[in-house]
Amino acid sequence: DAGVIQSPRHEVTEMGQEVTLRCKPISGHNSLFWYRQTMMRGLELLIYFNNNVPIDDSGMPEDRFSAKMPNASFSTLKIQPSEPRDSAVYFCASSVTGPSYEQYFGPGTRLTVT
Amino acid sequence: QKEVEQNSGPLSVPEGAIASLNCTYSDRGSQSFFWYRQYSGKSPELIMSIYSNGDKEDGRFTAQLNKASQYVSLLIRDSQPSDSATYLCAVSIYGQNFVFGPGTRLSVLP
């Protein structure tokens, strides 16, 4: 079975550019999570969706970040404009709602903003 | 503010020994508890989940949960060099409000 798929795996961009990260959850999973991981702050939950609806976006750092889930098999995380402090690894994870809530992570996108 | 705390390590154990990883959490309403393993440059990989007080065993891994003490631990028996990684504790309330700890770096010495 295919796991969570993320693209691109690596992204290098210049400050001020728009960045779009993509995620395809595991088929049948109805919850999707976006995380950011840095050495300084560890793994932070940015936003999560349940049945394609954003439930909690309190972790989104600022208005430059936005996320969408237009259907059950696709989600995007967009940063516009990007800044060097956005450099991090961004993970997408998916799960099935109840009873275990176990999340499975994608391989991540390593973003570097110069 | 929900918090999950772990010793950052590194925790060094000799090959074949038992590695003990600990985690405490602040939110008494937490219902679900998870241990993830993360190798350098890779994504977190689920090892164990536990929901009830007591022990849960899976192969060389045993998760222990004590909700009264707000404490969850992971024991790795017969540690192998391939177990060297960062171990992340995660806590949630019914699949929401997922919070990860900072992770404990484990080094198993051959």
Q: Is the CB of residue B86 less than 8 Å away from at least one CB of chain A?
A: no
What spatial distance separates the first Cα and last Cα of chain A, rounded to whole Å? 36
Give per-residue pLDDT as tens, A61-71.
889 999 999 99
- The answer to whether the peptide bond before residue A61 is cis (omega within 30 degrees of 0) is no
Q: Which of B43, B46, B96 sits opposite A102 (nearest CB)?
A: B46
CA triple A108-B47-B2, angle to 5 deg: 75
Contacts of B69 (CB under 8 A, 6+ apart): none
What is the pLDDT, as a whole number, of residue B96?
73
Any A CB within 8 A of B40 CB: no
Q: What is the pLDDT of residue B7?
A: 87
Across the interface, whether the CB atoms of A103 and B46 are under 8 A apart is answered yes
Which chain A residue has the Cα nearest residue B8? A42
SS3 A23: strand
The pLDDT, as a whole number, for residue A2 is 84
Span A99-114, pLDDT tens digits: 678 999 999 999 999 9
d(CA B13, CA B20): 9
| Buried-state track B64-89, b at ≥16 Cβ within 10 A, e below 16 | bbeeeebebbbbbeebeeebbbbbbb
Distance from CA of B39 to the nearest CA of A (A): 12
Average pLDDT, chain A: 94
Mean pLDDT of A32-60: 93
The verdict on B7 touching A (C-beta cutoff 8 Å) is no
Candidates A34, A43, A46, partner chain B, best to mutate (most B CBs within 10 A): A43
Is some CB atom of chain B closer than 8 A to the CB atom of A49?
no
Q: How many CA atoms lie within 13 A of B75 on its CB side?
A: 14
Percent of chain A topping pLDDT 70: 97
CB contact under 8 A, A45 and B99: yes
Pairs of CB atoms within 8 A across A/B: 50
